[in-house]
Amino acid sequence: MTRTALSALLLGLAALSGCVAPTGPVEVTRFHEPAALDQLGHGTIAVAAAPGGDPASLEIRTYLAAVSRQLGAIGYADGTADSADQVALVRVERSYYKPDRTRGPVSVGVGGATGGGWGSSVGMGLGIDLSGGPKDQVSTELSVQIRNRASDAVLWEGRSHFAVAADSPMADTQLGAAKLAEALFADFPGTSGETVEVK
């Protein structure tokens, strides 16, 4: 997928990057071999969906655009799948779940007191949580693997992940793609094997 083909998506993501809604930190983990470091961050690279991904889907195309933008920012030039020095394979996994309620919706408290010569008293309090159950959550993970196109050797790989409420603006594909890609390539190539939180 060339940067020309991605231009419309890139413009949209660039506009969104300055107004991304607040979210918690993104968890990022990256791996690379020291011998591969001098090959990273320069030359030409093609961005493609990893095997099993649908390159025609809007969601995948949005993440491809976000990754392409970050690769350009760290020094790569756009290349084609049959001629680029390296290939970046992109995978996205999203899942929805409902967090467990940590306590019941109804709570009861009982207290007692005694007074010297004045008898005793007992009180009971009833509390009802009317806030409803926990909101549905959406978990999104972006994984990218950079390979040498000629040898197919893996030079670098990483993943970024966050979970937000399903009705949060950050659950939106475009906002989430920009945030996850930016976090994944922050301080590229990163410390191999270390998991960090990027705000």
pLDDT at 95: 86
Q: Where along the chain do its domains lie?
A: 7-97+138-190
Residue 66's pLDDT is what?
Answer: 98
Q: What is the pTM of this model?
A: 0.73
Q: What pLDDT is attached to residue 164? A: 86
Q: From 48, 41, 4, 10, select the one nearest 145 (Cα to Cα).
A: 48
| pLDDT score recorded for residue 124 | 57
Q: Do 65 and 10 touch, CB atoms closer than 8 A? A: yes
| Digitized pLDDT (tens) for each residue of the chain, 199 residues in all | 555 554 444 444 444 444 444 456 899 999 999 999 999 999 999 999 999 988 889 999 999 999 999 999 999 999 999 999 999 999 999 888 777 655 555 555 555 444 444 455 555 555 555 555 677 888 899 999 999 999 999 999 999 999 988 888 777 778 899 999 999 999 999 999 999 999 8
| E strands, the chain, in order | 26-32, 44-49, 77-78, 86-97, 106-115, 119-128, 137-148, 154-165, 195-198
pLDDT given for residue 166 in this prediction: 81
Q: What is the pLDDT of residue 153?
A: 96
Quick one: tokens of 98?
A: 């409902």
In this structure, which CATH number among 3.40.50, 1.10.10, 3.30.1490, 3.30.160 belongs to the domain 7-97+138-190? 3.30.160
